[in-house]
Structure 1
Amino acid sequence: MNTLLIIVLAILCLFVVISLVRGIVAFMKTTKIDLETGEGETATDMQLMQNKMMFARIKYQALAVVVVAVMLAIAQ
């Protein structure tokens, strides 16, 4: 059971890193577009992608915390 939880935790950590990187890339593209056009008033596709990735990151982090809590509960 512990091995399975560790594997799930590793996968969730990987998802956190992937969503964080994708969110940062979307942020950088949004900043570049805003600097080039001089407009920053409307939500672009990149800004929506950034919000989506940051929400995904929070979701995966919460799931990872739950897995760690389950591991600690099993260990006691």
Structure 2
Amino acid sequence: MSANTLVLVACLAVAVVLLLGLANMLRGGSANLSQKLMRLRVLLQFIAILIIMGVVWWRTA
């Protein structure tokens, strides 16, 4: 798996969870599910940032 693909997958995972959270909020879904999705999004954003930083470091090294 190339570095570009890894970054793309990480960013898409964040986007999917964000859209699921927005859809849940717009249809008046469970507040508990919204909290879980928000926590998952924050975790995925952290992982995506680590991946992006790792790719940048790897390409400049």
**Partner of residue 65 from structure 1, selected from 49, 52, 55:** 49
**Structure number, greater radius of gyration:** 1
Deviation per residue, 1:16-41 (Å, 9 max, x gap): 111111111111222xxxxxxxxxxx
Asked if the contact 1:12–1:64 (Cα under 8 Å) also holds between the matched residues in 2, the reply is: yes
Compute the RMSD of aligned alpha carbons. 1.6
AA partner of residue 75 (structure 1): R
User: In the TM superposition, what are the counterparts of 1:13-32 in structure 2 within 5 Å?
Assistant: 13-30=11-28
- Where do 5+ consecutive residues of structure 1 fail to align? 31-44
Alpha-carbon offset, residue 68 of structure 1: 1.1
Alpha-carbon offset, residue 74 of structure 1: 1.1
What TM-score does the superposition give when structure 1 sets the normalisation length? 0.67
Deviation per residue, 1:5-59 (Å, 9 max, x gap): 21111111111111111111111222xxxxxxxxxxxxxx711111111111111
Q: Number of residues paired by the alignment?
A: 60
Identity of aligned residues (%): 17
Q: Which runs of 4+ in 1 moved over 2 A?
A: none
